[in-house]
Amino acid sequence: MNQNTTLRVCTIALLVGVASCLTMVTAPADDVIYGAVNIVAREQGGQVIKASSEIRESRKGPVSAEWRKENLIDGKRVEGEIVPANSYGWATTTAPAVREPAWVVFGFAGNRQRLIGAVRIDPRTNDPRVIGRWVKNFTVEVSVIGAEGPWQRVSNFECINVARPQRFVLPAPTPAKYVRLLINSNHGSNARVGFGEFEVFEALVGDDELTKAIEGMESELARLRRFAAARAGAKAGNIGPPNIEDSLIAAKNGGSVIYTSSVALDEDDKELEQWGSQNLIDGLIATSADDPDHNSLGWSSNRKPTEDAPEMIAFAIPGEYGAVIDSAIIDTNTRDPWGMMRGAKHVELEVSTSEVDGPWTSLGVWTLPMEPARHWLQFAPMEARYVRVKVWSNFGSDRYVEFGEFGVFRHSVDVSVIGGIADSIDRSLVELKRYREGVLTETGPGE
Ligand SMILES: [Ca+2]
Ligand SMILES: [Ca+2]
């Protein structure tokens, strides 16, 4: 395979993965909750768009009000002796046959698309049950295009000849703008077919399903990003480390420190401000103590980090949804005259996409050399709102751990087609999360 073919095959494989996650939104019926509201009801804005036939007052006369198709969604029912005036149900002029089924087309308020999960038929009309005119076998079809179709068959059902509403669950939540019922048979009459009321209920896929779908998409997206990054890296050759001024959490870029486990204390047990963690994002690199122009000192803990109690500093990336990051810089230069025993040795980076206090996802653990230097840490692109540095150990001091500057970056720009696709999936993911959090609602502006 040449490189292009390889790329195409990989792209298809990855997109199939993403697509399979997207279809997870269509959950198995067990995980679906059905809406309580009949969304095709006239009082909900539902419509009966057309029907194969309706009984007329005379052969060429007007449609009989008692049997018009609109009666199917008027909420009126024949119940025993109670027969609503002018609303007996809907009935056709001939008996249905498989080759020539009777049919009715329904639409929702504003001709909007809905995700439907179940329908209910009340067979009762002013015709008595025993004469066999009530609906028996029928097919549910949907169209997401128009009231003329094209129609997609959903399932066949059978309505039994008893005087009560009967519910039919669709095999899977189904998007529909229009619903067509094809009625293939009644219970024996050769005169007509009819029924009293038709209802449609939304499929409300549980939040858990949405969360599962989002998580699935996130892991597929991470795969896609790694692939894109590898490609971009191969293309650009060895690209150098980012500039500390471009750090997304630099104070001058809107970043901030939100948590620090400890700061070195003076004799009066007061925190030494000059060793505070804000020094980690001030853009200044510490120089040695005897440098007359020395500036920012760096951060120093007040404890030796241990495996049971690592030292930690957490940072916030500006913006409501954070950013995608793929590398970090940790500069271990500080202005500590006591030397390198206090330097950070094992550091772990973590990100949180949701809250200030996690949950945290680890990006990896790095072992830094003793000699103070700038270190470029690279990892697979990750979405992050908060970044946490955990320092697990130093080089021997039993009092402090220190480093001087920290930054995170989106460094490898995805110029490839695949990178662009990943970005658009990323945007969709953000929309999905906003939907889950209730920021996006079903009704758009102006409706
Ligand atoms: Ca009715
Ligand atoms: Ca600094």
Per-residue pLDDT tens digits for 291-316 = 777 778 999 999 999 989 999 999 99
**Which pLDDT does position 381 carry in this prediction?**
80
Pick the last residue of a domain from 201, 234, 267.
Answer: 234
| 414 Cα to the center of ligand 2, angstroms | 29
Are 362 and 443 contained in the same domain?
no
Q: Answer yes or no: do 202 and 283 share one domain.
A: no
Task: Check residue 27 and give its pLDDT.
Answer: 40
Average pLDDT estimate for 160-177: 93
Helix H or strand E segment including 19: helix 3-22
- Please count the structural domains in the chain: 3
14: Cβ contacts below 8 Å, ≥ 6 apart: 220, 223, 224, 227, 418
Q: How many CA atoms lie within 13 A of 379 on its CB side?
A: 21
Same domain flag for 441 and 377: no
Same domain, residue pair 224 and 276 = no
pLDDT on residue 233: 63
Residue 305 and residue 439 in one domain: no
pLDDT at residue 224 tops 50: yes
Are residues 144 and 188 both part of a single domain? yes
Residues 397, 432, single domain; the answer is: no
What residues flank ion ligand 1 with Cβ within 5 A? Answer: 71, 74, 76, 196-197
Neighbours of 190 (CB within 10 A): 9
Q: What are phi and psi of 145, to 5 degrees?
A: -105, -65
For 111-143, letters b (16+ CB in 10 Å) and e give eeebbbbbbbbbbbbebeeeebbbbbbbbbbbb
Ligand nearest, relative to CA of residue 90: 1
Do 354 and 440 sit in the same domain of this protein?
no
Task: State the Cα angle at 262 between 256 and 266, rounded to 5°.
Answer: 115
* pLDDT given for residue 442 in this prediction: 58
pLDDT of residue 11: 43
Among residues 180, 202, 234, which one ends one of the domains?
234
The gap from C-alpha 262 to its chain's centroid, in whole angstroms, comes to 37
| Residues 394-409: tens digit of each pLDDT | 999 999 999 999 999 9
Ligand with smallest separation from the Cα of 404:
2
Which numbered ligand comes closest to the C-alpha of 83? 1
In this predicted model, which residue has the larger pLDDT, 220 or 207? 220
Find the ligand nearest to 85 CA: 1
Near ion ligand 2, which residues have CB within 5 Å?
Answer: 279, 282, 284, 296, 404-405
Q: How far is the CA of 276 from the centre of ligand 2 (A)?
A: 10
Distance from the alpha carbon of residue 126 to the mean position of ligand 1, in angstroms = 11
Q: Quick one: pLDDT at residue 30?
A: 54
Q: For residues 445 and 362, which has the higher predicted lDDT (pLDDT)?
A: 362
Q: Which ligand sits nearest to residue 165's alpha carbon?
A: 1
Considering the domain boundaries, does residue 239 fall inside one? no
Query: Which whole number is the average pLDDT over 207-222?
Result: 82
Report the distance separating Cα 175 and Cα 154, nearest Å.
10
- Residue 385 belongs to a domain with what CATH number? 2.60.120.260
Average pLDDT over every residue of 131-156: 96
Distance 317 CA to ligand 1 centre (A): 58
Q: Does a structural domain hold residue 364?
A: yes
For residue 199, the ligand closest to its alpha carbon is 1
Q: Are residues 200 and 294 in the same domain?
A: no
The answer to whether the CB of 143 falls within 8 A of the CB of 150 is yes
**Backbone dihedral region of 283: left (phi > 0), alpha (psi from -120 to 50 degrees) or beta?**
left
Is the same domain home to 187 and 317? Answer: no
CA 89 / ligand 1 centre spacing (Å): 5
Whole-number Å distance, alpha carbon 352 to ligand 2 midpoint, is 23
Which carries the bigger pLDDT value, residue 142 or residue 220?
142
What pLDDT score does 48 carry? 98
What's the domain range around 63?
3-234
Q: Are residues 177 and 60 in the same domain?
A: yes
For 329-346, the pLDDT digits (tens) are 999 999 886 668 999 999
Distance, CA of 357 to CA of 109 (rounded, Å): 43
Please, what is the average pLDDT of the chain? 86
Q: Of the candidates 234, 260, 290, which is a domain's last residue?
A: 234
Q: Which ligand is nearest to the CA of 195?
A: 1
